[in-house]
Amino acid sequence: MAGPDRIKKRVLIAAPVRRVWRAITDHQEFGAWFGVQLDGPFVVGQPVTGRFDERLNADGVMEFQESMGLTPSPVTIPDGPTVFCTVDAITPEQRFAFRWIPFGIDASVDPATEPTTLVEFLLEAEGDGTQLTIIESGFDDVPAHRRERAFMMNHAGWTGQAENLAQHVAGATGG
C-alpha cells in the first residue's frame, strides 16, 4: 500500500506497450479480463455502462471479505446495466484514467451522492515488456463508514486484476 488515500500496484507484463494498451483501453478486452461486459468504447468525459459477468456474485464477495479479516457487509450486485466508470483521460500508450465508485457494490452506496476515486493505468516500455502502474486515489473522500472496507477490497482487487490482465495479454483468456 502506498498510503491511506491511494493504492499503487506495479507489475511487469511480458508484452509490448501497444498490446497492453489495447487490453486496457479496448472496452471488449478490458471486460474480458476485468469480468464486466461494457456497452461501448471508452470516451473521455463519458460514462461507460455495463454488466458484471457471472464471476461476481454475492456469496463470493462475502467469502472474499471474510478472507481479508472483514466482517462481511451486504452487497448489491446489479442485475442489469449500471454505470461502471466515467473516463477521465486517454493519453495513447501512456495513461488511461477513469473515475468510479470504489467497492461500488457495497449495499450502503448511493450512486447519486457517492464520491468517486481516480483509477490510473500508467504504461512504460521496459525491455520487451511493459511496466504497468495502477494507481487508485481519492479514498480520503469516501465516507468514513465505508472507507477502510473500500480501500481493502480494492487493494486486494487490483492485485487480482493485475494478474488477470497479465494472463489475458499472454493469451490465457483468449487475449
Angstrom distance (rounded) from CA 142 to CA 70:
18
pLDDT tens digits, residue range 101-126? Answer: 999 888 888 888 999 999 999 999 99
Domain ranges of the chain: 6-170
Looking up cell 486496457 gives: 24
Residue that wins the pLDDT comparison between 94 and 81: 94
Name the helix (H) or strand (E) containing 168: helix 144-170
pLDDT in tens, 141-155: 999 989 999 999 999
Query: pTM, whole model, 2 decimals?
Result: 0.92
* C-alpha pair distances (Å), 117 with each of 45, 138, 151: 15, 5, 10
Residue with C-alpha cell 468525459? Answer: 45
Nearest to 6 by CA among 124, 137, 142, 170: 137
Assign domain 6-170 one CATH number from 3.90.550.10, 3.40.605.10, 3.30.530.20, 1.10.3720.10: 3.30.530.20
